A and B are shown apart, each in its own frame.
Chain A
Amino acid sequence: MRTAGILTVILVAVAATIALNSYYIVREYEQVVKLRFGEVVFVANPAGEVSDGVAIGEGPGLYLKVPLIENTVRYDSRNIMLDSNPSLVTVAGGERITVDSFARYKITDPVTFYSALNNLFEANSKLSALVEDSVRAVLGGQSQETIISEERARLMVQIRDRVNAQAKANQFGVEVIDVRIRRADLPEANADNVYARMETERRQQAALARAQGNERARIISAETDRQVVGLIAQARKESETIKGEGDAQRNRIFAEAYNLNPEFADFYRSLQAYKAAASEGDQLIISPDSEFYRYFTSERGGR
């Protein structure tokens, strides 16, 4: 009985193993290559066109295989990222820039992929080389501005097409969907130049602003000074005129008055003058013949 029991268990185990190995499930995002003694005999759910001569199973699902004799290799059928190393590109003008790009590809023909590249690691490595090479080829010789500017999109398409052509030529079994320049960096020395230039431009701007400000300020000051001088001069001129009017008026008044009797005016004004002009301590030498001393030497006032 015991032996029978063990036997049953062993039989069950073997049967189970065989059963589990007789099918494989291919999911929506997978494509599977079936090998018999190392040779590809069937493809399930391929992402693209498969090379002739191999049977194809459309779509995901449950597939059968002969256990132990046939085995499977699974590949991703999705859009996969390819991260390549930065390439050193020599641009027009002889400078070198570092271009970091990435690509997206799909395994479209898993049969050729199996023989050409076999796994994602290899694919990454080989395709990277292609991308780096194409980047150098397409961008080399372009001017720096072109690479950095709007032309970028067009150039990226060119790179993609070139990579695809080469991948096809090499029969990798992949299709490159997109190549994008992630970064185009200047090497150290150039970066320093850019910084220096940015600084210089700004400093010039600052200096200009200051100079213009000072100029404006000086103009305002000079204007002000000029106006001040003008105002004073004008005022002086007017005040002289006014004073002149005053003097003229004064002359007219006196003339009017004195013209009543010029001789008497002369007499009167002279007397005023003598009074005003005489000061304490003046020395006068007078002859007794003067009018004042008329009665000095004679009581009748004769000579």
Chain B
Amino acid sequence: MPWNDNSNNNNGPWGGNRPGGGGRRPQSPWGGGNKPPDIEEVLKRFGGGAGKFFGGMGGPFLALILGLVALLGWGATGFVVVDQAERALVMRFGEYNRTLQPGFHIHLPFPIEQRLVENVTRTREIDIGPPSEALERFNLSTNQRGGETTQGRPTINEEALRALERTADYQDGLMLSGDENFVVVSFTIQYNIGDLRNYLFEIRDPEGAVRAVAESGMRELVGSLSYEEVSQAGRDVLGQDLRVLMQEVLDSYMSGVNILSVQLRDISYPPRVAEAFLDVAAADQDARAAINEATRYQNEQLPQARAEAEALLQEAQGYRERVVAEASGEADRFRQVYESYSASPDVTRRRLFLETMEEVLSKTDKVILESDAGSGVVPYLPLNQVRGSN
């Protein structure tokens, strides 16, 4: 027994010298001083030590224990817990044997049976195109505000624009429409695993395939539409069409991928031409404003004119009434005078005449001259005025 053996106090169970045992020189764990370990020596000591260890202890029993532990360890390669969202494929000597449902399972250990576990129901996402925030900087995202046009014209920061245009995301999203206009599309693919066997056994790098097919497919679709069609027909139709196209292609690859949905996050014009595009909306607003202004003018002028017209008419009517009333009054006065005159004409005539002339002549300055002084130069000297100026 190693602990009974007093002859080699400096040895550990594995043989060799313990550090700090013999001399002060640094020791390797395999013993031997400065020389590199010798294979034979090592084996000898190993074998010797092990032999001593086992031999001394009741060797078969210990061997059994160790054997069982090793066996258990080996068997444990066959234990697996399959999560609710997962499925596992078991291959026996490499050949597909069965699928494991969620739960705890034991299968034959490696390399007899080998399992591959994969989450099948989790929704995986791939984003393609620039994120909305990047576009919002240039006032472009039509994602929010239900597609209304925004007020005001942006001043585009040229540097920021170039930085955006250099990003891979932006280049992924920049596409040509059928009528050769640029359009920036951002979309998200959501998929999960439909057929696990195909997914694991038929296709290499399925995620890469999904991405490549998505990019290619979207460009194909956008390229078949005019710019107007793309921006108006919009997101739902485009998303549906792409989903169908992608599923078709991925099925032809036997990818086992199940495309759940394609969501269009943004469809917009490239920021480089933002000013011109927003100008269109601004122009519409300007046009509307001009028309409104003219309508306002109309609403102001017409009532005014109508009022003026009315006033003219009223004035005319007033004139008519006045004139008629005055005339009636005068005519009545005449009639009454004539009535009273008719009773004694001569007397009344003479009296009227004298009364009138009295009034007239008393107002005026008179010069009384002989009537035959009317021809030739009138011999008249305005003494009044001469006297007045002295």
- Cβ of A49 within 8 Å of any chain B Cβ, yes or no, is no
Point out the residue from A104, A206, A240, A250 that lies within 8 Å of B327, measured CB to CB: A250
Partner of B209, one of A26, A81, A181, A210: A81
Contacts of B284 in A (CB 8 A): 209, 213
CA of A6 to CA of B363, assembled, Å: 171
Q: Mark B191-210, 1 if CB is under 8 A from A, else 0.
A: 00000010011111100110
Within 8 A of A (CB), among B239-278: 249, 252-255, 269-270, 272-273, 275-277
Partner of B220, one of A153, A224, A260, A274: A153
0/1 interface trace, chain B 290-331, chain A, CB 8 Å (1 if under): 110111011001101110111011011101111110111011
Segment at the A interface, from B40-48, B69-77, B132-140, B143-151 = B40-48
- Given A250-B327, A268-B337, A288-B368: A148 touches B317 (CB 8 Å cut-off): no
Chain B nearest Cβ from A249, distance in angstroms: 5
Give bound CA distance, A223 to B297, whole Å: 11
Interface residues as binary, B347-380 with A (CB distance below 8 Å gives 1, 0 otherwise) = 0010011101101110111111111001000101
Instruction: Give the CA-CA distance A254 to B254 in the complex, in Å.
Output: 115
Contacts of A104 in B (CB 8 A): 209, 253
Known contacts being A195-B273, A281-B365, is A102 close to B212, with CB within 8 Å? yes
B91, A28: Cβ atoms under 8 Å? Answer: yes
List CB contacts (< 8 Å) of A168-216 with chain B: 177-178, 180-186, 191, 194-195, 197-200, 202-203, 205-210, 212-214, 216
- Report A243 CB to chain B, min CB distance, Å: 5
**B85: interface (CB < 8 Å):** no
Q: Is the CB of A235 within 8 A of B308?
A: yes
Does B367 contact A286, Cβ atoms closer than 8 Å? yes
Determine whether the beta carbon of B309 is less than 8 Å from that of A25: no
* Distance between Cα atoms of A183 and B175 in the complex (Å): 8
Determine whether A144 belongs to the interface, using a CB cutoff of 8 Å to chain B. Answer: yes
Among candidates A186, A203, A220, A285, residue contacting B295 with C-beta atoms closer than 8 Å: A220
Are the CB atoms of B205 and A149 closer together than 8 Å? Answer: no
Among A56-64, A110-118, A122-130, A131-139, which stretch is in contact with chain B? A56-64
* Contact pick for A210, options B204, B254, B283, B312, CB 8 Å: B283
Q: Which residues of B contact A206 (CB under 8 A)?
A: 276, 279-280, 282-283
Q: Is residue B79 within 8 Å, beta carbon to beta carbon, of the partner chain?
A: no
Does B122 belong to the interface (CB within 8 Å)? Answer: no
CA A94 to CA B12, docked complex, whole Å: 85
Q: Does A42 contact B (CB under 8 A)?
A: no
Which chain A residues border B26 with CB–CB below 8 Å? none
Known contacts A6-B47, A239-B312; A278 and B363 CB within 8 A of each other: yes
Interface of B is mostly: helix
Could you say which residues of chain A place their CB within 8 Å of the CB of B380? 285
For A69, list chain B residues within 8 Å (CB).
none
Inter-chain CA distance A280–B362, complex, in Å, is: 9
- Name B188-237 residues within 8 Å CB distance of A: 197, 200-205, 208-209, 212-213, 215-216, 219-220, 223-224
A29 touches B201 (CB 8 A): yes
Query: A26 to B94, Cβ gap below 8 A?
Result: yes
Report whether A283 and B367 are in contact in the complex, using a CB–CB cutoff of 8 Å. yes
Q: Does the CB pair B253–A198 fall under 8 Å?
A: no
Contacts of A236 in B (CB 8 A): 312
Is A287 within 8 A of B370, CB to CB? yes
Interface string of A58-90 (1 = CB under 8 A from B): 011110000000000000101111000000000
Q: Are A284 and B367 in contact (CB under 8 A)?
A: yes
Given the contacts A76-B204, A195-B270, A203-B276, A284 and B366 also touching, CB distance less than 8 Å: yes
Q: Could you show 10 A-B contacts with beta carbons less than 8 Å apart?
A: A149-B224, A178-B249, A203-B279, A205-B283, A210-B290, A213-B287, A217-B290, A246-B319, A246-B320, A280-B364
Q: Which chain B residues have a beta carbon within 8 Å of chain A's beta carbons?
A: 43-44, 47-48, 50-51, 91-96, 111, 114, 176-178, 180-182, 197, 200-205, 208-209, 212-213, 215-216, 219-220, 223-224, 249, 252-255, 269-270, 272-273, 275-277, 279-280, 282-284, 286-291, 293-295, 297-298, 301-302, 304-306, 308-310, 312-313, 315-317, 319-324, 326-328, 330-332, 334-335, 337-338, 341-342, 345, 349, 352-354, 356-357, 359-361, 363-371, 374, 378, 380
State the 6 A-B residue pairs at the shortest beta-carbon distance, nearest first. Answer: A213-B287, A246-B320, A239-B316, A235-B309, A206-B283, A257-B331
